[in-house]
Structure 1
Amino acid sequence: MKKKIEDVEDIKVFVDEFYSRVQTDGLIGPVFMEAIADWEPHLQKMYAFWNAALFGVPGFRGNPFAKHAPLKIGQAHFERWLGLFYGTINERFEGDVAEDAKKRAELMASMFLIRLQQLNGNSDRVIV
C-alpha cells in the first residue's frame, strides 16, 4: 500500500531503498561504489538534504554539485539515476510531496548535467 511522504522517517525509507537500488545497478552502481567508501555518512546527508528540500527543515550543509563534478558521468547516468528514483517513489509513495520529490530530482539532474557539460571535462574548473 502506498502512503504519503509525511516526515523524515518516510524520507529515510525512500532514501534507503533508492540507494540500495543504486548500489546494485550495473551503470551507476560502480560510480557510486568508487566514490563512497562509507555509506552511513552519505545516507545521513541525503536524509538531511531531502528533509530540507521537501519540508524546509534546516540541517543540510554541503555542495552537492562540487561532489559530482570530478565524476565521469553523463546523460545516461542521470537518466538511470532518475529512473531508479522515480521507481522507488512510485512503488512506495503517492501524493503531492512524492510528486514534488520527483520534480526536484528531475530539476537537480538537469541542472547537474548542464553544469557538467559546461565544465567540458575540466573538473578543476568547478562552477559553484
Structure 2
Amino acid sequence: MEALRERKRTEAEAIGVDAEYISSFVERFYGKIRKDELLGPIFAERIGDWAKHLDRMKGFWRSVLHASGEFAGNPMIKHIAIPGLEERHFAHWLQLFYATLREEEPQTEATQEVANRARMIADSLLTGIATQRKGLAGARAGEKLPKL
C-alpha cells in the first residue's frame, strides 16, 4: 500500500500537483465558495471553524490526488444530510472549482487531472443523493454536470 501511495504522489507531483498546489487551490476555492450567493449560505450554515475545514479539505484532496490515506470521513453521508442539495448546486460548485484551477494555469495536465477528479466526486455525490432520494431512478443524476 505504501508503494502505491508513493507512486501516486510521485505521478501527481510530476505534473505539478504537489502539496503546495493543493493547499493553494483549496484556499482560493473556498474563498470563492464563502462569497458565493448560492453556495456560501449552505457552507456558512454548517462550518463554524473555517481554518479546521480548510485543513480537512486539504487532507481530503491530498488523499484524492496523492493517495495519502490521511482523510477519514464519509462525504456522502454529509451531503445526503443537506436538504435541497441538487444538480444545480454541484454544477455551480464545479464551475467555481474550474475557474479556480484556470486562474493558476489556464490548461495543463495538472488542471485537467484535478478537474477530472472533482467532476468524478461531484458526480458520485450527486448520484448517491439522487439514489437515496429517488431509488434507482436517480442513478444517472450527474450526467449533465459540466466538464472542463
For residue 66 of structure 1, report the CA deviation from its aligned partner. Answer: 1.1
Give the TM-score of the pair, scaled to structure 2: 0.74
Match of 1:95 in 2: 108
Matches within 5 A, 1:80-91: 80-91=92-103
Match of 1:19 in 2: 30
- Aligned mates of 1:6, 1:120 — CA distance in 2: 36
Q: 1:105 aligns with which of 114, 118, 138?
A: 118
Tell me, which stretches of 5 or more residues in structure 2 are unaligned? 1-14, 135-148
More helix per residue: 1 or 2? 2
For residue 75 of structure 1, report the CA deviation from its aligned partner. Answer: 0.7
Cα RMSD, aligned residues only? 1.5
Match of 2:88 in 1: 76
Match of 2:17 in 1: 6
Contact 1:69 1:116 in 2 (8 A): yes
Match of 2:58 in 1: 47
State the 4+ residue runs in structure 1 displaced beyond 3 angstroms: none
Q: Which has the higher contact order (CA 8 A, sep 6+)?
A: 1
| Most deviating of 81-90 and 35-44 | 35-44
- Aligned mates of 1:99, 1:13 — CA distance in 2: 16
For residue 53 of structure 1, report the CA deviation from its aligned partner. Answer: 1.2
For residue 117 of structure 1, report the CA deviation from its aligned partner. Answer: 1.1
| Most deviating of 52-61 and 8-17 | 52-61
May I ask how many residue pairs the two structures share in their alignment? 118
Contact 1:11 1:51 in 2 (8 A): yes
- Aligned mates of 1:80, 1:34 — CA distance in 2: 18
Give the TM-score of the pair, scaled to structure 1: 0.85
2:20 alignment partner, SS class: helix
- Aligned mates of 1:7, 1:98 — CA distance in 2: 12
Match of 1:58 in 2: 69
